[in-house]
Chains A and B, each alone.
Chain A
Amino acid sequence: MTSLPGKTDKKLGLVIDLDTCVGCHACVTNCKEWNTGGHMAPLTDLNAYGKGADGVWFNRVHTYEVDDAPGCSRTVHFPKSCLHCETPACVTVCPTGASYKRTSDGIVLVNEDLCIGCKLCSWACPYGAREFDVFEGVMKKCTLCVDRIYNTNLDEVDRVPACVLTCPTGARHFGDLGDPNSDVSQLVAARGGVDLMPELGYKPTNKYLPPRPRRTAAADVGATAELVSAPGGFLGWVDRLLSR
């Protein structure tokens, strides 16, 4: 049903730390390899070995330069996948019921068997989180690794999304953002996590932790701005008894 659940039992989602992400694309390819054999398999690649290579990916990393003031820029790597919004139009616009939001955990999924490939949901997603599989004629998207996170065939520690499991810097976190006591909720609170495009009203579940302010003042580490010359003149200070 493409009507949205009024409320979900959990709000599972990701928290992405833009202060720590180095833009390594590990989450990108790990997502690809897991999911190309997973619930939405395959993640078809067109022109895989020539010009115009174009595949289905659920997670992509952009790079931006952000000016804090003119001429004073920061470089930020920005991974983006489905935000599993609370009130996403990608679900309500779907004419077939293929696009739906789960009541239990809030995961937004596509039922490929129902999808007619009208692409309307991709138009309705402001974030560009849905990708069309031209070959299969159906819409695909991040599943929040629904076939990992509950998978009793995997070790318990491995029951997290592939992108989270692999992130070398630990910039990705997974949990229940509906539970204010969960680690992820606490992290969001502590670091001032933000929503993307809140003004559009989709209420994304995933949160982004903004880069911390850069520390370029001596006081930030408790030092003075420069060193004072040692008393006793050049090498004078060296003259003390030293034992080996």
Chain B
Amino acid sequence: MHPAASIIFFTTASGLGYGLMAWAGILAAFGQMPLHRGLGIGVMVTALVLVSTGLLSSLLHLGRPERAWRALSQWRSSWLSREAVAAILTFIPATVFAGAWIFLDHLSRLAGVFTALGALITVYCTAMIYRSLTPIKQWSNPTTVPVYLALSLMTGATWLHAFLLAFGAGSARTVLITGAVAVISIPAGYTLKRRAWHYDPTPAATIQSATGLGGTDIRSVEWPHTEENFLLKEMGYRVARKHAERLRQIATGAGFIAPLLLLVVTAGRQDWLATAAAILAAIVMAAGITVERWLFFAEAKHTVALYYGR
């Protein structure tokens, strides 16, 4: 599939944003969130900005952005519609939660719970959009939803951890919790992603079934058109195997190994070094996950490619 920048940015940014707000909401719900206004501004504004720009950038991808509101109508059948509805609904508790925290110096447990729920549901809906696309085996398999949720939570935890350290706001306990959550989520996320990467991508359909022709081998000798058309540009994207392998290594290194090392090395500390390490971990991880997301699209093969012998 064509790795459109807007969609990659959207899924990465919103995944991170929702992960961040989810953890903030959960910690608040359990009374573990320090009532620090700077932290509130840092965490919640970042989360809301990430989520909003993500959503806005996904609008860029639309042919008719001015009609985007129509996407709210089909929640009964469409995961995209559900995602849009969930995203918008999540803004309500999230804004309440953030507002109370920042302006009223109050950490609403209830709003936190709903924010976390909304965030996770939204990420779930996003994942389900891909999960339900039968023509793309790399997406429509049981690994997609766990990976989306896990990576959202992983990036969220790592970023929250960094915020806590950066604002020097958390108690040692809170920092320990977020650090631990982040450190645990990384191998978990990686395990799931690895499973996804190793998931047998052979589509259920074959060129034999796609054409109904059977036979031992079917080769495309002429396309219906000599230049690339919408189908090929959108769904015939190919990334060289070698290239993909290298990018997987980068995604693994930046998205998982480096942040993990940085966090483990500075575990238990709350000094400038730990802070720097946590911030670095957060940034490197975001970059790594962007690469992961690029691959998620670029490596996905649509059954349409079968018709073109790709």
Contacts and interface: CB of A to CB of B under 8 A. Distances in A.
Q: Is there any pair of Cβ atoms, one from A and one from B, under 8 angstroms apart in the complex?
A: yes
Interface residues of A, number: 73
Interface in A4-36: 4, 18, 25, 28
A67 B228 contact: no
Contact of B212 (A55, A136, A194): A194
Nearest to B223: A62
A120 B129 contact: yes
A63 B221 contact: yes
A197 B210 contact: yes
A97 to B, nearest CB: 5
Contact of A18 (B63, B76, B213): B213
A94 B221 contact: no
Given A80-B307, A114-B70, A197-B205, 6 more contacts: A53-B227, A54-B229, A64-B207, A126-B210, A128-B231, A210-B213
Interface stretch (B93-101, B130-138, B250-258): B130-138
B212 A126 contact: no
Contact of A116 (B62, B132, B219): B62
25 contacts: A2-B74, A2-B76, A28-B224, A54-B229, A55-B229, A62-B220, A63-B220, A63-B221, A93-B132, A95-B70, A95-B72, A95-B73, A97-B73, A98-B70, A116-B71, A118-B80, A120-B129, A125-B304, A126-B210, A127-B303, A134-B230, A137-B64, A197-B303, A199-B209, A210-B214
Interface in A72-114: 74-76, 78, 80, 89, 91-98, 114
A67 B217 contact: yes
B202 interface: no
Contacts of B209: 196-199
A49 B1 CA distance: 27
B84 interface: yes
A210 B209 CA distance: 12
Contacts of A118: 61-63, 71, 80
Given A60-B224, A65-B218, A65-B219, A196 B210 contact: yes
Contact of A122 (B204, B211, B221, B234): B234
A239 B212 CA distance: 57
